[in-house]
Amino acid sequence: MSTLKAVRGTRDLLPPETDLWNRVEATARAVFARYGFGEIRTPIFEATELFARGVGEETDIVSKEMYTWEDRARAASEKAQSLTLRPENTAGVVRAYIEHKLGDTGNLQKLFYIGPQFRRERPQRGRYRQFWQIGVEVLGPVSSGAESPIRDAEVLEMLASLLDELGIRNWQLQLNSVGSSTDRPRYIAALREALAPVKHLMCEDNQRRAETNPLRVLDSKDPNDQELINNLPKIADFLDEASTAHFAQVREALDACGVPYTVNPRLVRGLDYYTRTTFEFTVPDGQGLGTQNALLGGGRYDGLSEMLGGPRAPGIGFAIGEDRLILTLQAQSAETTTTKLDAYIAPLGIPQNAAALALARELRRAGLSVEVGDGSFRVKKSFEAADKVARHIVLLGEDEVSTGILTVKTFATGEQVKVDKSTLASHLRT
């Protein structure tokens, strides 16, 4: 019989690596709390239409990467419907915002989420079919200040602080403005016009994009097309006065906070809902990610709620690719993630097994991390097993059980001492 394996593009996360995942998530939660964010948990699958309308039919995500199925009706009262595993979480959060009328509170909603997303992409390092995102969405009615450039700058400043606190080095913030929903069509028309005489010189993919979605030409990595692309019109020249002023205020606030950034006029991002500010944080090549160098991406989506049939609710957010964040942390630091337990208790014979477990229970209740061996082990084997997982070994023979005086060895120093059971917990803590 052939053995079963995790499906292509998915993977198991195992200890001790999961310790690092938990540390990252705990740090993110702590930082988000300092900025007044609350957690939202939306379903992992949604109506397909949500992504078609929100993310956009023409995007790569919707046109080729979604896990979609026809969900049959199970009762006469139900209708069959097309469902999709979420490829991203912004559309789901905005759907929830509309469904629960969160705008009626009049307050700015500051929400975060941590969870798996699904895209049928070609798997490679840093690119999986199930991957994790740590994301944030800030949205609300215009009267709540949701449209203010302060919100954009605050979200970016928070990201810079979070990456610093996690220990990510050499991150770069790439920043752009893609303008309002009226600026963009004018820019796309100009792009089409500029591409018409040169597109036949470009790679096949770009020739197709020039027809279907000219903005996508801008994030092409094809080396031969770069010069042609650099000579195309820039979105900055098509922003109206309000978008230009908004972008200037975002940059001014970032400058005031000392958050460094590079304006990248080619950063248009692959989802249709973006308006005005767009951004990505990248790390240089060779620091864990290879060609998938975007640690995270985000931007403003002032029209998304209305695209989904909701009230006007401008917003801005981002999603960190947690898998990529972890790869970067691992590549940037030599430190291993294994943390040792406080103690390993070694019963010296089978009759001491029960007492060993009782002692472990006492120590664990006192907050210590403890592993228990087995009385059938030879002493040498107990020492070897203990040295791998714990800082101390506690030997428990017949005498120790009857006197309550235990033999404890500390591996780091090689020191071996007798310790009274009543002071054992404090001895092991040091």
Binding site for ligand HAM (CB under 6 A): 88-90, 119, 121, 126-128, 131, 133, 135, 137, 271, 294-299, 301, 317-319, 321, 323-324
Whether residue 137 contacts residue 93, with contact meaning beta carbons closer than 8 Å, is answered with: yes
Q: Smallest distance from the beta carbon of 42 to ligand HAM, in angstroms?
A: 12
How many CB atoms sit inside 10 A of residue 14's CB? Answer: 7
Q: Smallest distance from the beta carbon of 79 to ligand HAM, in angstroms?
A: 28
Nearer to ligand HAM, 84 or 89 (CB): 89
Q: Smallest distance from the beta carbon of 245 to ligand HAM, in angstroms?
A: 22
- Looking at residue 169, what DSSP letter applies? -
Nearer to ligand HAM, 279 or 344 (CB): 279
* Per-position b or e across 63-73, b if 16+ CB within 10 A of its CB: eebbebeebee
Nearer to ligand HAM, 288 or 347 (CB): 288
Q: Smallest distance from the beta carbon of 399 to ligand HAM, in angstroms?
A: 57
- Looking at residue 127, what DSSP letter applies? B
Nearer to ligand HAM, 150 or 196 (CB): 150
Q: Smallest distance from the beta carbon of 367 to ligand HAM, in angstroms?
A: 37
Q: Smallest distance from the beta carbon of 272 to ligand HAM, in angstroms?
A: 11
For the chain, the farthest-separated pair of C-alpha atoms sits apart, in whole angstroms, at 93
Torsion of CA 117, 181, 153, 23, to 10 degrees: 0
Q: Smallest distance from the beta carbon of 120 to ligand HAM, in angstroms?
A: 9
Nearer to ligand HAM, 321 or 397 (CB): 321
- Looking at residue 124, what DSSP letter applies? B
Measured at the CA of 261, the angle between CA 249 and CA 150, to 5 degrees, comes to 30
Distance from C-alpha of 80 to C-alpha of 334, rounded to nearest angstrom: 52
Q: Smallest distance from the beta carbon of 61 to ligand HAM, in angstroms?
A: 7
What residue number has its CB nearest to ligand HAM? 321
Nearer to ligand HAM, 215 or 355 (CB): 215
Whether residue 377 contacts residue 385, with contact meaning beta carbons closer than 8 Å, is answered with: yes
* Per-position b or e across 133-165, b if 16+ CB within 10 A of its CB: bbbbbbbbbeebebbbbebbbbbbbbbbebbee
Nearer to ligand HAM, 55 or 424 (CB): 55
Distance from C-alpha of 154 to C-alpha of 110, rounded to nearest angstrom: 12
Q: Smallest distance from the beta carbon of 53 to ligand HAM, in angstroms?
A: 14
Nearer to ligand HAM, 318 or 344 (CB): 318
In order, the DSSP letters of 214-257 are GGGGGG---GGGHHHHHTSPPGGGG--HHHHHHHHHHHHHHHHH
Nearer to ligand HAM, 251 or 269 (CB): 269
Pairing of the two strands 315-321 and 294-300: antiparallel
